[in-house]
Amino acid sequence: MAYDQTDQFAPFVAPANEAGASEASTLAQRLNAELRDAHPATILRAAYEHFGDKLALVSSFGAESAVLLHLAAQVDPDIAVLFLDTGMLFGQTLDYRKTLAAKLGLTDVRDLRPHFEDLAVGDPNADLHKTDTDACCHIRKVVPLDAALEGFDAWLTGRKRFHGGDRLRLAVVEESEGKLKFNPLANWSKEELDAYAAEHALPAHPLVAAGFPSIGCWPCTNPVEEGEDVRAGRWAGSQKTECGIHTARAPGAAPFMGGDI
């Protein structure tokens, strides 16, 4: 059953200009101060109360995705879930996306795929990942997500501080490209995630047992050794730590190259 909205939080009006973007930043700072120590369920409910159907959840259906998806399903099983099907995901991930969504009763999982025109121009042989991983991620992840998020005023991510890198300073609520971005699991440890998953009997991604604690596209994801960082298997051997969807866009940059298929 969807979470009943209350009057605790005032509704947010989407920004339409620089003044609106500043308003979003101010709201993000206020909500982050109020929610920085809150339980993930409380953060999710606050986001839903503010934005309703203008709130989306972006999920990779990866190693730790089940916890946030389960929490969201308790608030509203009809929430829009944006899944980036890059065309290079493990088959296990595609199967997991179907089974987990059905188990949790999520009714609006949207598969976002790269634009045909962008692939034809930028990666016609599907080997761009061998020479320019940033460009590959841009075509297959950033571009489709930017286009999909145009219909929303806020979004939820599954990022956590214990993943390290730039995520060590992760806020619970932040402003990004004029939208609010909520990170309900920012404060939780691996132990807390595992305990929640066990309490609710959430199925694990099948590759976790094979040594993949973080799972992306198959060409750029490796298993990790015991004791290594959670994300050590992502773009192993390079300085790259993020795919780009959580990186600020350059001012004036085109939101996407091509159009819909």
Instruction: Delimit the domains of the chain by residue range.
Output: 18-205
pLDDT digits (tens, 9 = 90+) for 66-75: 999 999 999 9
Amino acid code (one letter) for 85:
D
- Tell me the average pLDDT across 90-112: 97
The C-alpha atoms of residue 41 and residue 39 are separated, in whole angstroms, by: 5
Report pTM: 0.83
Q: Long-range CB contacts (< 8 A, 24+ apart) of 90-96? A: 90/207, 90/215, 90/218, 90/221, 92/205, 92/206, 92/207, 93/60, 93/61, 93/62, 93/205, 93/207, 93/215, 95/206, 96/61, 96/203, 96/205, 96/206
Examine the residue annotation and report whether 137 is marked as an active-site residue of this protein: no
| pLDDT tens profile 43-61 | 999 999 999 999 999 999 9
2 or 110, higher pLDDT? 110
The pLDDT of residue 237 is 63
Residue 177 has pLDDT above 50, yes or no: yes
pLDDT-based confidence at 236, cuts 50/70/90? low
Sign of CA dihedral 84, 85, 88, 94: positive
Distance in angstroms (rounded) separating the CA atoms of residues 180 and 21: 10
Residue predicted with more confidence, 33 or 244:
33
Residue 194 has pLDDT above 70, yes or no: yes
> Which amino acid type is present at position 207?
L
Asked if CATH classification 3.90.1300.10 holds for the domain at 18-205, the reply, yes or no, is: no
Active-site hit among 136, 137, 217, 243 = 243
**Cα–Cα dist 71/182, whole Å:** 13
pLDDT above 60 (res 31): yes
Residue 260: predicted pLDDT: 31
pLDDT on residue 231: 61
